[in-house]
Each structure stands twice: as C-alpha cells, then as structure tokens.
Amino acid sequence: MKPAFTDAGVPSLPLHAVRANDLPTFLAGPGARWQGWLTASGFEAGLGDVRLLPSADATVAGAVVGLGTDMARRRQRFGLAKAATTLPAGNWALHGSLDIAERTEAALGWLLAGYRFDRYRPGRKPASLPRLCCPEGVDAGRLTAMAEGEFLTRDLINTPALDLGPAELETAFLALADEFSCFTNVVRGDDLLAQNFPMIHAVGRASPRAPRLLEMRWGHAGPRLTLVGKGVCFDTGGLNIKPSSGMSLMKKDMGGAATVLGLARMIMALNLPLRLRVLVPAVENVISGNAQRPKDILTSRKGLTVEVNDTDAEGRLVLADALAYACEEDVDALVSMATLTGAARVAVGPDLAPYYCDDAGIVAALEAGAVAGFDPVWRLPFHDAYESVIEPGIADLDNAPGFGFAGSITAALFLRRFVTTGRYLHFDIYGHVPTDQPARPKGGAGQGARAVLGALPAMLGI
C-alpha cells in the first residue's frame, strides 16, 4: 500500500490529541460535551489511547487520542500512530496544541503505520485504513518520500530468500534505478574475478545463485555521496554453519542493502542536489564443494590479504571489496550499512542504530538528523587500540579475530582499512523489529536512513 495523506480540502473528522496533564483542560473546553462519556470509559489520555466521540444522531463526531506523559513519549516513538490502526476508515484531521516536531512525528508515524506485507496472502482483502490530513507546517512531500523509502526497505527485508536471492535483489535494484533514470552497471559470477572483486566472488561462489556487484549512479551536479549496502540475501554461515536459532532470521542479512536502497529512493524522490552512487555486493553464503574454507587467505581488491577465520564473518569481506571500489574515485561522503554483527545488538539492542565516524561535522549533522527524523542512533568508537586484534600475522587482516570482545568495533576497524576518505560513516544495524511497535510492525525495518537524510544538508553543504 502506497503511503499518502488525504487530499487537501476533503471533509475530515477531528482527532483531538490530548496530553495526560492537559486532560482536565480539554474536558472543560473542547471536550466538555463528551466529559461524561470519556470519564465513564476510563479515558486518561494514555499514549495512543483512543476513544471515538459520538454525535447526537449516534454517528461518529470525531475521536480523541492520548499523548500520555512526557516520560511515556520519551519511552516510545510514534505513540500517536496507534490511532492509525484503531480508528475506522475515513479522513481525519489532527487537532490540539502540538508543536511542529510533535505534528511531524504524528504525521510520519501515521504514514508508517499504514504498511502491510501481504505478498503471501493474496486472498486477503486489503484493509481500508484511516487517512490523515497533513498537519499545518509539516512537509508532506518529504514525509511521503521517507515513508516510501521505508516501505521499500521493509518489503525487501521481509521477502524470504526463496524469492529474494542475488538475482531478485538485482531486479529490485534495477527497477528503482529505472524509475529515477539512473545509470547502472552489474558485474556477475566469474566476471567478478576478471574485474577484481575477489572477496565478493569468494563469499558467493558456492551458491548456484551467482554473486554480483550492483552499481547505480544518479545526479549530474553537486557533492558526491556513495552508499554501500551489504546484500547477503541469505547467510547459512558457510562451512562455519550457524545453528538453526542463528539462521532463522537470515533472510534479513541483506538489510544493509535494503536500507541504502530505501535511502536512495528518499534522496532521488526529493531531488536533492547531489551526485549519488549506490553499491550493493549481492551474494548468498551457502555450502558446497567450492565454498571458502576456514584459514583460506584471500587477496582483496585493495591488495590487502585476509585470513578467513570464520566463514560466517562474510559480510565484511563483500563490503571490503565494494568500499575499496567506492574509494577509487573522489567522494565527499561515504556511508556503509550492514547487518554486520551480533555484538552490536548486545551493545545497544534492536531499537538503536550504532554507527562509527571520526568526522566531527558528520557526527553533529547525523545526531541532529536522527532527532529530526525520529530515527535514533548511537555512536560507537573506531578504537585504534584494537587495531592489532584484526592483524593475524599470517596475513594483513583477520576477518574474525578470537578476541572475544568488541566484535562490532573490530568489524568496523576491518572495514575502515579499505577506506581512503576520512568522511566515512558506517552503520551496524539490526534491520528488524522483534515485536509490534507503533508505526513499526514486527519484521523488517530500516534504521539510520532518515537520520542520514536529515544530515545530508550539513554533511554536504547542500
């Protein structure tokens, strides 16, 4: 379902948003005629709590939704979006003393709450959802672009690997490129060796679904932004095979690719004045007679040698070749996104997107963008003292050091070895919501994309 606000001028029912501490004022003022009804129904303006308001002729006159306490709003994003899944179909207009940030959060949450993944339930009748008038002062076009990008990301992550291998990811990649008239280039199979992408080839060669590098370019003027996304369409762990508990969610191991494609869609839909390049190494990490083995030593595109101490640490291998390729031309900012390590989940949980960056200007811009986009991030360090951990002695680098600590940091340090620009930003995301949340149903999810989008003007001077 395509995210959209209701058309301007369409008759709409009022949706009164009320903070918990403002409930007495509301009941004495705009809500006075429903005071008895709301009191009898136990309405206390809890975050996302909704009550329909009856009219004299027993039809719906509107509704009231709680904004809860300040603490409740800090603890849960998009709380008002619960109304989008509770109210009956129709057109609704937001009322209440909300500031611009609150109106923006409400509007974006409403759009995101409209997401449905019904591909595998073709007989299910699409639900008629309530639609919101875009609140005053809110940029409807920008929020719609954000939601469309997020829906693309969710669709890709939610699709099982049976129907989204490297070839199908390529099809989605090219469809996006075609929609925005991008230049594209794809290197597949053994051509990866011929064109010097040896680690992408090594990770994906065991699968009958050929590995590939996907490249897209858009824009003819402005600063250069390159996005690199990990596209491991399924990860068995290779010969270091995962247990079933670790493999059950591995359809989401291309979440980095899905997120950069969602971000690219946002950038292009908003026609930002920059030159965009997107790189996605798309592979399937499986087992066969020609799979890479533990203790194999690979020579990367950059010329650095890598000892493979764990075939389940494959994401950094494919990203390394793509990052080296990205840095072979001028770039004003380089961003990589990957569902890279379990260590990042242990450190910050599934709701935060940890990132690494040594550029103070980018960090400041990203933190501001995260607040503006309701897209929380958390900075982790490129801790130089751990550099020796990723140096095995027999080769330049180790893809899975037996350090036992700081797994996300050592993975980020590994990637940084293949980057030649100081304006590098790396995300180690989860790409999945474990339980239903307002505006974020259980399943695939983008992380960090809206934060980056909001940061771009300051990052790139646009």
Q: Burial letters for 437-460: b for 16+ Cβ neighbours within 10 Å, e otherwise?
A: bbbbbebbbbbbbbbbbbbbeebb
How many Å apart are CA 48 and CA 75, to the nearest integer?
13
To which residue do tokens 């989204």 refer?
164
User: Which residues are CB-neighbours of 204 under 8 A, at least 6 positions away?
Assistant: 166, 210, 211, 212, 282, 283, 284, 285, 318
Name the phi and psi angles at 137, rounded to 5. 85, -5
Angle subtended at Cα 151 by Cα 19 and Cα 219, rounded to the nearest 5 degrees? 115
In terms of phi and psi (left: phi > 0; alpha: psi -120 to 50; beta: otherwise), the region of 257 is alpha
How many Å apart are CA 435 and CA 441, to the nearest integer?
7
- Strands (DSSP E) contained in 85-171 are 90-95, 130-132
Tell me which residues are annotated as active site: 242, 316
- DSSP classification of residue 305: E
Tokens of 3: 């995210």
User: Which residues are CB-neighbours of 252 under 8 A, at least 6 positions away?
Assistant: 157, 339, 431, 432, 444
To which residue do tokens 């940890």 refer?
354
Tokens of 52: 């329909």
- Strands (DSSP E) contained in 197-309 are 212-218, 224-229, 231-235, 275-285, 297-299, 305-307
* Residue 360: C-alpha distances to residues 74, 133, 423 (Å): 26, 38, 9
* Residue 113: C-alpha distances to residues 42, 150, 184 (Å): 25, 11, 33
Name the strand (E) or helix (H) holding 64. Answer: strand 60-68
> Distance between alpha carbon 97 and the CA centroid of its chain, in Å?
31
Angle subtended at Cα 151 by Cα 186 and Cα 79, rounded to the nearest 5 degrees? 150
Q: Among candidates 353, 320, 325, which has minimal Cα distance to 440?
A: 353
How many Å apart are CA 237 and CA 219, to the nearest integer?
38
